[in-house]
Amino acid sequence: MHVPVWIKPAVWGAVVGAVGIMIVGFSWMGWTLGGTTTRLVAEGSESAVIAALAPFCVANYMKQPDAAKQLALLKADTSSYTQRDIIEKAGFSTLPGNKEPRSGLAAACEIALRTASLPGPQTLAEAKTATK
């Protein structure tokens, strides 16, 4: 069998071209593999659920009998880890049917509570005197 001389350079050109297209496609054109796409979809749906449930977490936090005092104490704490821990232990980031709190929801709730306010002024000093 006689193979034409131009076949070998053509095959090598196709191989180098395919590798070049893959490099350009994955690095600059945004191509992804199935596993990466699945991970990105899961992260996006998780963040959407957290964004949808954060207002309910804040509303439940504000329904506490001593919400003003608790909010003042939460805002006084400067550690976001401690604030999330308080929210998780109180059960505000535990969804119905789940046993474990969701740390992402607790973090979103903590951020929302940092900017929240209650009607009727109560300062940290008032909250501390109320606990004594």
Return mean pLDDT, the chain.
Answer: 85
Query: pTM of whole model > 0.95?
Result: no
Cα 65 to Cα 31, 55, 71, 86, 128, distances in angstroms: 53, 18, 11, 16, 16
Q: What's the pLDDT at 89?
A: 87
Q: What is the mean pLDDT of residues 49-67?
A: 87
On the question of pLDDT at 16 being above 70, the answer is yes
Residue 71: left if φ>0, alpha if ψ -120 to 50, beta else—which one? alpha
Q: What's the pLDDT at 129?
A: 59
Q: Read out DSSP for the chain? A: ----TTHHHHHHHHHHHHHHHHHHHHHTS----HHHHHHHHHHHHHHHHHHHHHHHHHHHHHTSTTHHHHHHHHHH---HHHHHHHHHHHTTTPPTT-SSPPHHHHHHHHHHHHH---SS---HHHHHHHH-
Q: What's the pLDDT at 20?
A: 96
Q: Which two tokens stand for residue 6?
A: 């131009």
71-116 residue pLDDT tens: 888 888 888 888 888 888 888 888 888 888 888 888 899 888 888 7
Q: What's the pLDDT at 18?
A: 97
Who has greater pLDDT, 90 or 123? Answer: 90
